[in-house]
Amino acid sequence: MRMQLIVIPIFWLLSLQVSSNEISSAFQEQSSVNVIVALKTRSPSHSHWRNLEQHIDVMQQKLIDDMGWININHLVRYKNAPLIAKSVAKPEYDRLRKSALVDTIYLDKFTLLQTPKVARQLPSHHSIDVNVKVKEVNAVAVIDSGIDFNHPYLKNKTVAGACFSASGHCPNGRNKQFGIAAAKPCTFNGCSHGTHVAGIAVGESALHQGVAPKSQLVSINAMSHNGFGTGFTYSDILQSLDWVLTHHKKYNISVVNMSLGGGRFYDNCDGDYPYTALINQLRDKNILTVIASGNEYLTDSIGAPACISSAVSVGSVNHNGEVSDFSNSYKRITIMAYGSKILSSVPGGKLEAMSGTSMASPQVAGAVALLKSIYPAATAEQLYQAILSGDDFLDSRNQVKTKKLNVKKSLVYLRQKFNRVPDKSRPIKEESSNCSTKVDGILIEKSNTDCGKTIRW
């Protein structure tokens, strides 16, 4: 039996100048620095690769051997992207900079989790009133601070869990854990965040419900504590995204929510962050990654990783339909959603109202899950266009025009797409190639041993 090969084109990860100033500054304060190494992936011969994971594994092992790394217990290898995370001393860093195998070196930063504002007066819960028939149950992957999966609002929702914590604060006291028990919330200040976010997306009770109450949860706890506060490292977020990519079919994950971020970017930041390759791959597998824009009151920039072009960046509006004053915005923001005084679950069986783009993001993620459950065949691009069919919105602070989430309009958009009757009076236009056929503009890819798969980085 002939084995099908995955043909990978000659490519490079997005190249940029090594952030040597940041890393050099870090070495002035400490003897070792945590970095993420992106490998060059161009190869003159790749006919022997069986799949993408094998190719990545080979490239990672080449660097490990070249560097002479023997004790690799604290080294992180990623399955779906040619990356390695490791703590290195200055001589190792200098060798990495000169290595022909290395494309980019990122500082593995720690970013504090943004704590939402707690509302003093609890408003009525803003829910999506859509009476539709769900055709397929899917799951929302929430990369956050863990969730209280015994909360009445979230009971029996969690189908899988994982934890990645650089500081060793997973529920088992280590830096990794898998299974539903790994989904428990962290125990620091701000660790109610993930439970609140999850409730907005999929919560369900007799009195309140989230946007997609029939969807399930996959919870990834990516929080650490560095002595100053609760936050996350780049390497742990990468492990979380990598885990979702590996397990998305098993749990039918339809969308990823990341109500986290930091920094300030005036335009797309694809080359500045190592997340881009994995978010691109998720989108290619019809999984959108929805990310909060940040709460720094910025009107000309947003945080990362929301600024990655293939992500869905979300700003916040209040219940009057006006932009929330804290919500970051810029010319490329994707969509706005309710994020002010949103009532949802918090650990201990309680409900609490919070405000932030962290609350707006799961409104959109929940909407994507709801749409996907009604139209399981919808592609990422169709889901993206569906949420952009919402209400016109103008940010009065900077005159940026965008859209505000309106699930009913999104449903109308998809209904028209999937229930469209072909025009039999118009001749069918067909274009063919060795590996694909385009019929009336619809690309049909052939599946055989001679036609491979292109991986987008």
* Per-domain boundaries in the chain: 20-108, 112-415
> So what's the pLDDT on residue 130?
62
> So what's the pLDDT on residue 287?
98
What six digits make up the tokens of 104? Answer: 């980019």
CATH superfamily of 112-415: Peptidase S8/S53 domain (3.40.50.200)
> So what's the pLDDT on residue 120?
45
> So what's the pLDDT on residue 114?
75
pLDDT tens digit string along 126-152?
555 566 778 899 999 999 999 999 999
> So what's the pLDDT on residue 428?
43
How many helices (H) and strands (E) the chain has is answered by 9, 25
Burial string for 360-393 (b: 16+ CB within 10 Å, else e) reads: bbbbbbbbbbbbbbbbeebebebbbebbbbbeeb
At residue 164, φ and ψ (nearest 5 deg) are -135, 115
> So what's the pLDDT on residue 409?
96
- The yes-or-no answer to whether 20-108 and 112-415 have a common fold is no
How far is 143 from 163, CA to CA, in rounded Å? 9
Q: What is the architecture of the domain spanning 20-108? A: 2-Layer Sandwich (3.30)
Which residues are 177's β-sheet partners? 163
Active-site positions read: 144, 193, 358
> So what's the pLDDT on residue 455?
47
> So what's the pLDDT on residue 131?
63
pLDDT tens digit string along 170-208?
999 999 999 999 999 999 888 999 999 999 999 999 888
Q: Are 253 and 244 a contacting pair, CB within 8 Å?
A: yes
Residues in the chain with pLDDT values less than 50: 1-18, 43-47, 120-125, 428, 430, 437-456
> So what's the pLDDT on residue 129?
59
Nearest residue to 359 (alpha-carbon basis) of 172, 142, 76, 170: 142
Q: How far is CA 407 from CA 123, 365, 382, in A?
A: 21, 11, 14
Q: Are 364 and 314 a contacting pair, CB within 8 Å?
A: yes
How far is 314 from 324, CA to CA, in rounded Å? 12
